[in-house]
Amino acid sequence: MAAAAESGDAGTDADAGRWLPPHSPSGLVLQTVEMHTGGEPLRIIPRLEAAEEAAAVGGLSLLSLRREVAATQDHVRQALMHEPRGHGGMYGAVVVRGGAAADGAHLAALFLHGAGYSAMCGHAVMALGRFALDYGLVAAPSCPETAVHLRCPCGPVTAFVPWDGRRSGNPVRFHSVPAFAVTTDLAINVPGYGKVVVDIGYGGTFYAFLSAEQLGLDVCSSETRDLVNAASAVTEAVKKQFKLHHPESKDLAFLYGTILTDGKDAFSEEPTTNICVFGDEQVDRSPTGSGVTARIALQYHKGLIQLNQTRTFRSSTTGSLFTGKAVKEAKLSDYNAVVVEVSGEAFYIGTATFTVEEEDPLKYGFFFK
Closest CA to 40 of 319, 254, 311: 319
Q: Are residues 189 and 240 in the same domain?
A: yes
* Residue 298 domain-assigned (yes or no): yes
Distance CA 324, CA 72 (A): 37
pTM across the whole model = 0.93
Total domains, the chain: 2
For 337-356, the pLDDT digits (tens) are: 999 999 999 999 999 999 99
Residue 288, sorted as left (phi over 0), alpha (psi -120 to 50) or beta, turns out to be: left
Q: Are residues 161 and 232 in the same domain?
A: no
pLDDT score of 6: 34
CATH number where 193 lies: 3.10.310.10
- CA angle 345-351-352, nearest 5°? 135
Beta bridge partners of 175: 158, 341
pLDDT score of 8: 34
Q: Are residues 50 and 181 in the same domain?
A: no
* Residue 369 domain-assigned (yes or no): no
User: Over 90: is that where the pLDDT of 369 sits?
Assistant: no
Q: Are residues 117 and 196 in the same domain?
A: no
- 289 pLDDT band (50/70/90 cuts)? very high
* Residue 23 domain-assigned (yes or no): no
* Residue 331 domain-assigned (yes or no): yes
In the annotation, is 220 catalytic? Answer: no
* Residue 9 domain-assigned (yes or no): no
C-alpha to C-alpha distances, 366 to 17, 28, 151, 180, 281, nearest whole angstrom: 27, 17, 30, 37, 16
**Range of the structural domain that residue 207 is part of:** 177-344
pLDDT score of 114: 96
Q: Which of 121, 152, 154, 276 is catalytic?
A: 121
Q: Are residues 145 and 186 in the same domain?
A: no
Is the CB of residue 238 less than 8 Å from the CB of residue 187?
no
Q: Are residues 287 and 269 in the same domain?
A: yes
Q: Are residues 70 and 189 in the same domain?
A: no
- Please, where are the H alpha helices in 242-367? 289-301
* Residue 365 domain-assigned (yes or no): no
Q: Are residues 196 and 303 in the same domain?
A: yes
Q: Are residues 304 and 157 in the same domain?
A: no
Q: Are residues 183 and 331 in the same domain?
A: yes
